[in-house]
Structure 1
């Protein structure tokens, strides 16, 4: 379906402006399998963005503390907010700096009942505005970092790296510049 251009290849801002292209396309049985996949890869499922998690994010950010399940700022794809997000702390173990990825469910299923999930990954270099992060502009480096972690899970049945879009530069909702070669990993879980 992606090759037929029937599904959006980029995340969006709340206003529908184009952001980062998808860097992961994953076939999984359901949400639980995707969560298990990330847990086995030593990533944490992020809290949903709500009043409680926002207050905890502000507190841990101000005090430079860890928040292993800190929320990820909402991002959109196909006019929907992300369904799942995961993060991994850096050796500094602070909410100010982390690896993270967002995933959206699609309405595409294989004949074996696996659902296609699409996602974007980026590396947060620091906090800005107390509730969001500045990302490293090289989103390809984060894609490769995450893929190496995912390989360690032992749950990948098959994968290939595909050219999803052309080389792209852009700016996300927070004004952070990014660039990419436009490639994505297509992964099928066991």
Structure 2
């Protein structure tokens, strides 16, 4: 008589192979949907719905979702911007891609610190951010402070470069509610991050002045490209970097 264990073993192997096959199919379907099909669908949607375009007060994702609201402005050269963030202990952030998506997911699971964890690209004036900085919180890239900055095509009244940007706090790593891609889930109160950024910049002693453009936003709430809600008091904080700062 054939041993029952000899019959059970092939069946178990067959079940394992079936599970592995199904898992591989699931991962493939998720990848195609999150990184190819859904972004393409949003591109087509945006082409036929001009009213969906981001306003000048809000950034835009690469597949034409409204992005994060603009809430900070700085006046100074690129070198001065980089120097004041270095003094404030904020670090340059890398660009996001599939490889870095997986790396940051692994770093989050394993609680590995990363001072240069990537940020996804957002767009303003038809181009992605010119500069991006971040400040890690603890030893895990799941949560961090970060800001993206774009150089304006005009100069201040004193002939200096002007920058505008969006400061937002990342609460955790998760899946985008709109595409399913791996991304950071952001905190809804963007004013808290705006205030914290300027607190850090003020402490460097390199800001000559700090003013507020009250009522910069007329729409005080919305959702960003990942589907995360945000709300604001509508004010834009503006910092002028001291001219004697290198």
For this structure pair, what is the TM-score category when the shorter chain's length is used for normalisation? 0.7 to 0.9
- Deviation, 1:120, is 0.5
Unaligned stretches of 5+ residues in structure 2: 1-54, 176-180
What do residues 13-47 of structure 1 show as CA deviations (whole Å, max 9, x unaligned)? 22444333311111112x22111111111111112
TM-score (norm 2): 0.68
Query: Larger relative CO (CA 8 A, sep 6+): 1 or 2?
Result: 1
Unaligned stretches of 5+ residues in structure 1: 1-6
Structure 1 match to 2:235: 183
Larger fraction in helix: 2
Distance change >3 Å, CA 50–CA 133, structure 1 → 2:
closer
TM-score (norm 1): 0.87
The aligned length equals 182
Highest CA radius of gyration, 1 or 2?
2
Q: Is the 8 A contact 1:44 1:69 kept in 2?
A: yes
Q: Distance in 2 between matches of 1:67 and 1:131?
A: 17
1:5-154 paired onto structure 2 within 5 Å: 8-29=56-77, 31-50=78-97, 53-90=100-137, 92-110=138-156, 112-129=158-175, 131-154=182-205
Deviant stretches of 4+, over 6 Å = none
Larger fraction in strand: 1
CA-based RMSD of the aligned residues comes to: 1.9
Q: Is the 8 A contact 1:83 1:105 kept in 2?
A: yes
